[in-house]
Structure 1
Amino acid sequence: DKGKVLVVGVDSLLTQLARCCHPVPPDPIVGFVTRGRGVIVHRADCPNIRNLDDEGHDRLIEVSWTTDTDVSYPVEILIIAIERVGLLRDISEVFSKEKQPVVAMNSSRNKGDLHFNFTIEIKNSEDLKRTLNALREIKNVVSARRK
């Protein structure tokens, strides 16, 4: 039931949130009717939607977010930081304080900086803004943003 979306004029249609753009309320969204997988819900500004050919545009349908407040949505974030002892603990404390489950994480070094990719579950864009602001306040964090 994660990612509840209402397809205008249709009941009980299978929907999935696009992995390429990870839409989250209140992002403007659009549905793409697939062959055999139902409707994939993308952010309206998703590059995959913007680059559709004429045939692809014919498969777009109107969708909207549900008003169910108990639904959570996965969102990917990128944190770039300068290494220090306790950095990962401090990042984890922000997610814990904000009561946001971490469902995936990986890290790498890039030109001396640490790059952390997290997938967290949020209820709405306000949760995301609050979390990103808290992450930016952590010592040695250079940037924190939605992917």
Structure 2
Amino acid sequence: MNEKTLLADETDELQRLGRLVGKWEVSGGATGTTSFEWMEGGFFLIQRGDLLHDGHVVRMTEIIGREHPFGEKPGTEIKSRVYDTNGNTLDYVYELEGDVLTIWGGYKGSPGYFRGEFSADGDRLTGDWVYPGGGYHATMVRS
């Protein structure tokens, strides 16, 4: 198996999240901008956001991909960690089935999650953040 085949096999599920690549305007319970880009090599997607949520400025960077600890095989789930300028770290699991994106808070099946659907042209993602005691509607439009 050559390197290109190995790369494609290992990143297929992650590559489908490539539809997020670009700049987005965010509205709903959080407002602002966010962008996604591939890290060189294609094994990680990087999100950078500048948002206003509940009166708080949230500037963040998120690294999305498979965990691959030294000496071990890559994990099967697409996981992420968010780092923000307030010192918070948040973990998520991404799941994309067709046009429906679910972002689980911490682990699959968590009571905290986002579930949204891409428009037919892929330039709009509309859904809801749900968590115990709250939640909000959210829309991202490619800019």
Same fold (TM over 0.5): no
Structure with the bigger percentage of strand: 2
* TM-score (norm. length: structure 2): 0.24
Greater length-normalized contact order (CA 8 Å, ≥ 6 residues apart): 1
